Structure 1
């Protein structure tokens, strides 16, 4: 039986996680980056100075599968009880329940750290993520039309929210 575990991201994990992220930059509209992200920028996006905001490597039988994180939703103090959840899985891991288990894991930690709500922003083209978030109790709270432009077309984003406390 497979074992799903999580560990806090370490510098030795960053290159692998960046490769997963950059796969989606190059091959999908799921990321709004239009060019692969370089190591310094990616490192800054997954390692946070504030311990409330963490990135976790998702391990299946001790093999990295991707990452899940809670990061600041906005930088103004009144938003401190809201976090933004993000997940990226290796393309071969999608559709196996790893995403849902990872979301549930990070929600429990966010709740312990005093978060009241979590926000997830997803490209409207990303039906797998939309399904995963809605299946896990996130409700659509916003839909923004044509806010991104990639590969010659305008892209919509959908924002989901879950109250966790």
Structure 2
């Protein structure tokens, strides 16, 4: 039986996690980056000055499998009780329940840190993420049409929300 654990991001984890993220940049429409992200930009997206916002490394049997984070939804103070959830898993981990376990873990952390609402924005093509969020109680609250353009096609995004407190 495998063991799933989570730990706060360490600097040494960043290159491996960047490789996972860049896999989706290169091979899918799930990320709206059109070119691989360099280390400084990726680091800025996963390291947060405010300790309320944290990136957690997902480990299965002590091997890095991806990351999950709660980050600011917007920078204005009235949004401080809402966080944005992002999760990226190594492609071989998709569909094995690791995403759901990661979402549940980060929701507990978010509750402890005083969040009321969590939001996830997903490319409408990403059926695996849509299924994962809806299976975990997130409700679709928006659908923005043709807001991204990648590989010669316009892409939609859908936003999901869950009230956690």
1:45 deviates by 0.3
1:4 deviates by 0.3
Q: d(CA) in 2 for partners of 1:149 and 1:161? A: 24
Gaps of 5+ in 2: none
1:91 deviates by 0.2
TM-score w.r.t. length of structure 1 = 1.00
Q: Secondary structure of 2:66's match?
A: strand
1:111 deviates by 0.3
1:104 deviates by 0.1
Cα displacement string for residues 58-103 of structure 1 (whole angstroms, at most 9, x for unaligned residues): 0001000000000000000000000000000000000000000000
Q: d(CA) in 1 for partners of 2:10 and 2:101? A: 21
Q: d(CA) in 2 for partners of 1:25 and 1:10? A: 23
Cα displacement string for residues 110-160 of structure 1 (whole angstroms, at most 9, x for unaligned residues): 000000000000000000000000000000000000000000000000000
Q: CA RMSD in A?
A: 0.2
Gaps of 5+ in 1: none
1:3 deviates by 0.5
TM-score w.r.t. length of structure 2 = 1.00
Q: d(CA) in 2 for partners of 1:34 and 1:115? A: 32
How many residue pairs are counted as aligned between the two chains?
165
Find out whether 1:71 has 2:94 as its counterpart.
no
Find out whether 1:23 has 2:30 as its counterpart.
no
Q: d(CA) in 1 for partners of 2:61 and 2:83? A: 28
Runs of 4+ in 1 over 6 A off after TM superposition: none
